[in-house]
């Protein structure tokens, strides 16, 4: 069996899983159903195991197929990255870059810079997937995630882009009604907006000058699984929120939000670029990460 034949076979296998049927895989690859079926059967015969359970309605992976698929995806990604590396040596950075981040970071930090990125790399296309959920990058086909928390992701590479201080803040309208907390314990008497699903049940704060961390149990007045909803609620005066300075800096500068408990610090979590591990980093991913690191540095971190 020639290596290129093996590569074609695993491409067909991966397409069958992604498309959900042999006929759909054939259409996506420009092959007939007969060819797809024959190549898949040949691959299974060569491996000596069934990779897919086939019914008239759907396909499902066997245990062996699931393990093999993960390796196939890495191989296909490596081949694609190798091709892009050769293109990059000719000065070509192109193709579709899939980026995921929170809606807040996407709107405030990525979207305003896409025009400048396009000027540098006009053949690069960018798809931004906004979500507060932590996606499986390999399964979702994501090239790079921008995250604002330290997460233990096995098999992923992490590069710090910028420091990320988190601040407690509230709208002037809220403070006019309820006053400002002077000590962390005062949060027990305030309306607090929390983010997450499930939401945290406490806020941890460290003295800015050093000292023992305090943990304040919180019975949230508002809980949102989306950072933008929590942000909008705070702007409307619904309560005190803990947000990344990168998300609220403009509102603080404009007086729409007021920072609170300035002698205390929430544990920091850097802005990070996270991407799947591989032998080669696709040029489109590398230039985007470098671009964002430089852009955030030029903006001046607010930590």
User: How do residues 233-256 score in pLDDT, each as one tens digit?
Assistant: 999 999 999 999 988 999 999 999
Contact (Cβ atoms closer than 8 angstroms) between residue 303 and residue 268:
yes
Contact (Cβ atoms closer than 8 angstroms) between residue 280 and residue 78:
yes
Q: Is the pLDDT of residue 48 over 90?
A: yes
Contact (Cβ atoms closer than 8 angstroms) between residue 277 and residue 168:
no
Lowest mean pLDDT among 29-38, 48-57, 76-85, 230-239: 76-85
The verdict on 172 and 123 lying in the same domain is no
How do residues 110-123 score in pLDDT, each as one tens digit?
Answer: 999 999 999 999 99
Q: Is the pLDDT of residue 197 over 80?
A: no
Q: What is the CATH number of the domain that holds 229?
A: 3.40.190.290
How does the average pLDDT of the chain come out, rounded? 87
Contact (Cβ atoms closer than 8 angstroms) between residue 160 and residue 181:
no
At which of 86, 121, 146 does a domain end? Answer: 86
Distance CA 275, CA 1 (A): 33
The verdict on 156 and 282 lying in the same domain is yes
How do residues 62-120 score in pLDDT, each as one tens digit?
Answer: 999 999 999 898 888 888 777 776 665 555 788 899 999 988 899 889 999 999 999 99
Determine the 3-state secondary structure of 82 from DSSP: helix
Q: Is the pLDDT of residue 279 over 60?
A: no
The verdict on 282 and 159 lying in the same domain is yes
The verdict on 32 and 152 lying in the same domain is no
The verdict on 252 and 283 lying in the same domain is no
With bands split at pLDDT 50, 70 and 90, how would you rate the model's confidence at 198? confident
Distance CA 147, CA 273 (A): 6
The verdict on 154 and 171 lying in the same domain is no
pLDDT value at position 129?
93
Q: Between the CA of residue 116 and those of 40, 112, 119, 120, 122, what are the distances in Å? A: 45, 8, 5, 7, 10
Q: Between the CA of residue 256 and those of 96, 177, 226, 236, what are the distances in Å? A: 37, 15, 20, 9
Sign of CA dihedral 99, 155, 21, 59: negative
The verdict on 149 and 284 lying in the same domain is yes
At which of 86, 107, 135 does a domain end? Answer: 86
Average pLDDT over residues 277-293: 82
Distance CA 130, CA 163 (A): 21
With bands split at pLDDT 50, 70 and 90, how would you rate the model's confidence at 227? confident
Quote the number of domains for the chain: 3
Distance CA 145, CA 99 (A): 6
The verdict on 71 and 100 lying in the same domain is no
Contact (Cβ atoms closer than 8 angstroms) between residue 106 and residue 129:
no
Its pTM stands at: 0.62
In this structure, what token pair is assigned to residue 166? Answer: 């988190």
pLDDT value at position 267?
86
For 238, half-sphere exposure in the C-beta direction (CA atoms, 13 angstrom radius) is 17
pLDDT value at position 301?
45
**% of the chain exceeding 70 in pLDDT:** 90
Q: Is the pLDDT of residue 153 over 50?
A: yes
Alpha-helical segments (H) within the chain: 3-19, 22-29, 33-47, 63-89, 103-105, 114-120, 137-140, 172-178, 227-235, 245-254, 283-299
Q: Between the CA of residue 129 and those of 66, 81, 161, 235, what are the distances in Å? A: 25, 21, 19, 25
The verdict on 194 and 45 lying in the same domain is no
At which of 46, 69, 86 does a domain end? Answer: 86
Q: Which domain holds residue 29?
A: 3-86
The verdict on 46 and 9 lying in the same domain is yes
The verdict on 124 and 251 lying in the same domain is no
The verdict on 129 and 246 lying in the same domain is no
* N- to C-terminal Cα separation, the chain: 57
Q: What is the CATH number of the domain that holds 129?
A: 3.40.190.10
Distance CA 83, CA 80 (A): 5
Q: Is the pLDDT of residue 127 over 60?
A: yes
With bands split at pLDDT 50, 70 and 90, how would you rate the model's confidence at 282? confident
With bands split at pLDDT 50, 70 and 90, how would you rate the model's confidence at 277? confident
Which conformational region is residue 248 in: left (phi greater than 0), alpha (psi within -120 to 50 degrees), or beta?
A: alpha
Q: What is the CATH number of the domain that holds 15?
A: 1.10.10.10
């Amino acid at each position: 069996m020639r290596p290129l034949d093996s590569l074609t076979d695993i491409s067909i296998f991966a397409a069958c899983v992604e498309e959900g049927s042999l006929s759909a895989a054939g259409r996506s690859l420009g092959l007939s159903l007969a060819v797809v079926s024959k190549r898949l059967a040949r691959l299974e015969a060569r491996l000596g195991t069934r990779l897919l359970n086939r019914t008239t309605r759907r396909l499902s992976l066997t245990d062996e197929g699931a393990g093999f698929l993960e390796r196939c995806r890495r191989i296909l990604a490596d081949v694609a990255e190798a091709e892009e590396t050769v293109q990059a040596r000719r000065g070509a950075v192109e193709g579709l870059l899939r980026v995921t981040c929170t809606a807040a970071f996407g709107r405030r930090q990525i979207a305003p810079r896409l025009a400048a990125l396009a000027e540098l790399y006009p053949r690069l296309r960018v798809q931004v997937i906004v979500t507060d959920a932590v996606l499986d990058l390999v399964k979702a086909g994501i090239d790079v995630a921008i995250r604002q928390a330290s997460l233990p992701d096995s098999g992923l590479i992490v590069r710090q882009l910028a420091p990320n201080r988190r601040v407690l803040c509230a709208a002037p309208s809220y403070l006019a009604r309820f006053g400002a907390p002077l000590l962390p314990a005062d949060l027990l008497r305030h309306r607090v907006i929390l983010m997450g699903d499930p939401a945290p049940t406490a806020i941890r704060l460290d003295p800015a000058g050093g000292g023992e961390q305090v943990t304040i149990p919180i019975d949230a007045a508002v809980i949102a699984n989306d950072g933008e909803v929590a942000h909008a609620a705070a702007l409307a005066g619904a309560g005190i929120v803990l947000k990344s300075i990168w998300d609220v800096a403009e509102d603080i500068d404009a007086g729409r939000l007021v920072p609170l408990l300035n002698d205390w610090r929430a544990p920091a979590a850097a802005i990070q670029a996270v991407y799947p591990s591989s032998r080669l980093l696709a040029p489109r991913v590398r230039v985007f990460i470098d671009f964002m690191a430089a852009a955030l540095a030029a903006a001046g971190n607010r930590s």
